[in-house]
A and B are shown apart, each in its own frame.
Chain A
Amino acid sequence: QVQLQESGPGLVKPSQTLSLTCTVSGASISSGPYYWSWIRQPAGKGLEWIGRIYTSGSTNYNPSLKTRVTISVDTSKNQFSLNLSSVTAADTAVYYCAREDPHAFDIWGQGTMVTVSS
């Protein structure tokens, strides 16, 4: 079955760039029609959608994060990635990658905790 796994640093310094990768196993990331999304959740709070990428490479971003977010895909590695620049403590959260099928998030990664601190 299709599985997603997030990876990346658990600690990022303020003003730096947060970089995470989601590895897809069990299916080709190029098979569609799916979007591949990033979602985050600060401790004790709700879900916040960060953005998504289609297999064609087209992207959509949360307007509140748009100026700082880049999502890319590497089909050769069956991965997609998140870069969030100029991070602050407010970006501390559990970050999830998820597949959007395309009307719902049907498969989620287990999540990875990222802390922004000096």
Chain B
Amino acid sequence: QSVLTQPPSVSAAPGQKVTISCSGSSSNIENNYVSWYRQLPGTAPKLLIYENNKRPSGIPDRFSGSKSATSATLGITGLQTGDEADYYCGTWDSSLSARVFGGGTELTVL
């Protein structure tokens, strides 16, 4: 099992909004920055959100991040078929002294 918990899959229609949750604990999410990654099939993950809610240059504002206590959320608006991918959350775990990831969420745009 992953240290961080994500739903295995989510789905929504094109143009709609979807949120992906990431649940952790006081040793990881609550006291450390959360980042989010998108992985298209057969490719390396790509950074979408860092430091809980910041977007790297080139990432559209359709993507947003938030954090509250021991949970974090990735939001995607204006869904496109090209958004179909696996999404991962990640953070530092202070108890393990290790980087940890969620198990990943597969997004389907119906």
What number of B residues sit within 8 Å (CB to CB) of A?
A: 24
Q: Bound state CA distance, A110 and B96, in angstroms? A: 27
Main SS at interface, chain B: strand
Shortest Cβ distance from B101 into chain A, in angstroms? 4
CB within 8 A of A52: which of B37, B44, B56, B99?
Answer: B99
Asked whether, in the complex, the Cβ of B98 is within 8 Å of the Cβ of A62, the reply is: yes
Could you mark each residue 42-67 of chain B with 1 if its beta carbon is under 8 Å from any beta carbon of chain A, else 0? 01111100110000100000000000
The A/B interface has a contact count, at CB < 8 Å, of 58
Q: Bound state CA distance, A60 and B94, in angstroms? A: 12
Q: 15 more A-B contacts (CB under 8 A) besides A46-B103, A104-B90? A: A37-B99, A46-B101, A47-B45, A47-B101, A49-B100, A60-B97, A63-B96, A63-B98, A104-B47, A105-B37, A105-B90, A106-B50, A108-B44, A109-B44, A110-B43
Provide 28 A-B residue pairs closer than 8 Å at the C-beta atoms, listed in order of the A residue: A46-B2, A46-B101, A46-B102, A46-B104, A47-B37, A47-B101, A48-B101, A49-B99, A61-B98, A63-B98, A96-B44, A103-B33, A103-B50, A103-B51, A103-B92, A104-B33, A104-B35, A104-B47, A104-B90, A105-B37, A105-B45, A105-B47, A106-B47, A106-B56, A108-B46, A109-B44, A110-B44, A111-B44
